[in-house]
């Protein structure tokens, strides 16, 4: 018997909701309000996942042209954070390290110009803002950065979810658990099922997260010069 040779399996939002209802133990016809509630739970789960570390599939290499004497720059609203960054001058890349806002405030000469080697990111509510130190000394340098973008909203029912297929199981169990949590006056049997759903969700999400991490070795060399 031949295998399919295809790799296109995915779930659109109605299929995901159907699967979640099937394993949640909730029976009966589903109303339009049930579907809206389920979609709202999907978006809330995705927001929770955003706060749980780096979602590698959202990494995007982006650039920001620097301007002589301009220290701050607004980034795209969908930028959640910056994973890594560097300054490109001509054909050479220079390290640009992230520092804390406290460290930035400790710089006594914030208008000092030079090759920026530090940046601080103020995330704000909607639009993140970058501050460089030293302030860019020309308008030809380019700041290249790997941004962590927000997860896209579920939006309409015809969409698929903005997660890799390996996360679909976790999302289905998570949605089933959230739907079951809202059941009024649960019986002892339903409470037991609710506990099982929570455990299944936690295990599926942990498995997916373990597979979605940087696998390259990290070499750490301590700086012992101050001990000489």
Query: Rounded to whole angstroms, what are the CA distances from 132 to 107, 119, 183?
Result: 11, 4, 51
CA dist 33 and 37 (Å) reads 6
- Look at residue 220 and tell me whether its pLDDT is greater than 70: no
What does the block give as tokens for 209? 């997260």
For residue range 50-108, what is the model confidence (pLDDT) as tens digits? 988 888 999 999 999 999 999 999 998 899 999 999 999 999 999 999 999 999 999 99
For residue range 137-177, what is the model confidence (pLDDT) as tens digits? 999 999 999 999 999 999 888 899 999 999 999 999 999 99
pLDDT score, position 122: 95
CA dist 21 and 203 (Å) reads 19
For residue range 93-107, what is the model confidence (pLDDT) as tens digits? 999 999 999 999 999
- Look at residue 222 and tell me whether its pLDDT is greater than 70: no
To the nearest whole number, what is the mean pLDDT of the chain? 90
The fraction of the chain above a pLDDT of 90, given in percent, is: 73
């Amino acid at each position: 018997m031949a295998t399919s040779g295809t790799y296109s399996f995915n779930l659109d939002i109605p299929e995901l909701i159907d699967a979640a209802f099937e394993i949640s133990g909730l029976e009966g016809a589903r109303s339009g309000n049930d579907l809206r509630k389920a979609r709202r739970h999907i978006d809330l789960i995705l927001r929770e996942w955003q706060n749980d570390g780096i979602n590698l599939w959202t990494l995007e290499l982006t650039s920001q042209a620097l301007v002589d004497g301009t220290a701050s720059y607004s980034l795209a609203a969908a930028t959640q954070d910056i994973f890594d960054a560097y300054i490109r001058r001509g054909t050479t890349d220079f390290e640009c390290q992230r520092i804390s806002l406290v460290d930035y405030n400790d710089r006594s000469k914030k208008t000092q110009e030079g090759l920026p080697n530090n940046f601080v990111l103020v995330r704000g509510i909607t639009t993140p803002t970058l501050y460089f130190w030293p302030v860019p000394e020309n308008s030809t340098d380019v700041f290249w950065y790997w941004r962590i973008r927000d997860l896209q909203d579920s939006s309409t029912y015809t969409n698929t979810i903005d997660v890799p297929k390996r996360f679909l199981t976790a999302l289905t169990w998570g949605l089933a658990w959230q739907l079951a949590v809202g059941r009024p006056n649960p019986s002892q049997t339903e409470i037991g099922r609710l506990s099982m759903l929570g455990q299944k969700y936690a295990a599926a999400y942990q498995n997916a997260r373990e597979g979605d991490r940087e696998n390259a070795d990290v070499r750490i060399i301590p700086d012992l010069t101050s001990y000489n």
